[in-house]
Structure 1
Amino acid sequence: MSGVLPGLLVLTDRTQAAAPLPEVVAAAVDAGARAVVLREKDLPPPERAALADALAAVLAPVGGLLVVAGPPGPAGRTAVHLAAADPFPRPRPALVGRSCHSADEVDRAAAEGCDWVLVSPVFPTPSKPGYGPALGPAGLARLVRGAPPVHALGGVTPGDVADCLRAGAAGVAVMGPVMRDPGRVSEYLAALGEPTR
């Protein structure tokens, strides 16, 4: 674990999920995932809160971390992940991360005292078509300097993990591959040199 996050961060996307999200996350946790970002920002707040509770219950037995994307809702969460343009929440939640796509955004996250940043897209990905071009390992390395701990996001395969770590990333964040096949968590953990379950 580097900083507050383990080396692998799983992001949810129910449109790509092979089964209902709680089942996919449970399978990912069984394979070794220990941190999950709940996205699904289009859901009505009560439905999203219920889903957050369900995922937190899946992660609790292994001491895992649920991070909720977007500013904290009325129920509040101890860990939130902000989009690049989201205002920084006050009062500050215990843990705050931010998505970044440029040096200016990374600098802002550092100045705010974010606990981590997700830098994307590192490689071409259909999930982030509006955030190109892909940075590649060299672009990732430029954004890592002076940043909070960075997780590389966007088209990262297990074979790309070593390049991301060499570029200075603390870990990787993965959405589509794990949503479609949660057993792939073990491939990412092996590439990160972390124990697989």
Structure 2
Amino acid sequence: MMTVDYRLNALVDASLADIAPLAELAAVAARHGATIIQYRDKAASTRQMIEQATLIAEALRGTGVPLVVNDRVDVALASGADGVHLGADDMDAEMARRLLGPSAIIGLTVKNQTDAMRVAQAPADYACIGGVFETISKVNPDTPVGIDGLRQLRAFLRQARPDMPVGAIAGIRLDRIEPVIAAGADGVAVISALFRSVNIAAAATEFRRHIDAALELRI
């Protein structure tokens, strides 16, 4: 398994294209504190996604920050991304691992105890619990798990997979970093609060500062 630094996952969603090219957004985040970049597009064609993921991968070259593609193993393979992030309805982690190889990053979503049990047995490098709070970045029919749900799911995963980093996603703001990390998260995935801020570079730096401070408090 890969060792993944999940402290700050900057998620570049297709909905952010009105701000700037996604590759540009990813590069700014990577240079100012993001430790992993995730590309997500629920509507584009396969060709468009491959083109976009390739541009993002090129923009990240030299930063040391890996790129994972949401849902699409084929796009990750074709674009040279570092791995994938998969939900419960996507390709299973075992097959993704066979296709992508031992050095690829595979992340999995955890929304409930069933997901957590599946992840505990999967060849995954990290997990992300959520949504923790309400979010405007994605239509989500599932009720947020909240801080208590995050704590419970994280406790299960810590026992089952003690070395696997686990993040938190959805509705993450600066003021929520300390409580989610206190509840067990090793990092956070952020979209709007980072990329729709007035100064993206400064926001990334501030998110990273808050995350690192919260992790130190937990030790």
Normalised to the residue count of structure 2, the TM-score between the two structures is 0.80
Q: 1:176 to 1:11 in 2, by over 3 A?
A: same
- Where has structure 1 moved over 4 Å in runs of 4 or more? none
Q: How many residues align?
A: 193
Q: Which has the higher contact order (CA 8 A, sep 6+)?
A: 1
Where does residue 170 of structure 1 map in the other structure? 186
Where does residue 34 of structure 1 map in the other structure? 35
Deviations 1:85-144 (A, max 9, x none): 112134153221111210111111121121111111111212344344222211100011
Where does residue 191 of structure 1 map in the other structure? 210
Greater CA drift, 14-23 or 148-157: 14-23
Where does residue 80 of structure 1 map in the other structure? 84
Amino acid at match of 1:26: A
Q: Structure 2: how far apart are the matches of 1:128 and 1:68?
A: 16
Normalised to the residue count of structure 1, the TM-score between the two structures is 0.88
Greater helix share, structure number:
2
Identity %: 29
Where does residue 171 of structure 2 map in the other structure? 155
Q: Is the 8 A contact 2:12 2:22 kept in 1?
A: yes
Q: Is the 8 A contact 1:121 1:128 kept in 2?
A: no
Greater CA drift, 124-133 or 13-22: 124-133
Q: Structure 1: how far apart are the matches of 2:72 and 2:48?
A: 16
Mapped pair 1:7 → 2:20:
no
Cα distance, 1:179 vs. partner? 2.5
Amino acid at match of 1:44: S
Cα distance, 1:77 vs. partner? 4.2
- Structure 1: stretches of 5+ with no match in the other structure: none
Deviations 1:138-190 (A, max 9, x none): 11000112324211001011111111111111110011222223231112101
2:105 to 95, 111, 121: 95
Q: Structure 2: how far apart are the matches of 1:8 and 1:70?
A: 19
Where does residue 161 of structure 2 map in the other structure? none
Cα RMSD over matched residues? Answer: 2.1
Q: Structure 2: how far apart are the matches of 1:153 and 1:25?
A: 18
Q: Structure 1: how far apart are the matches of 2:140 and 2:73?
A: 25
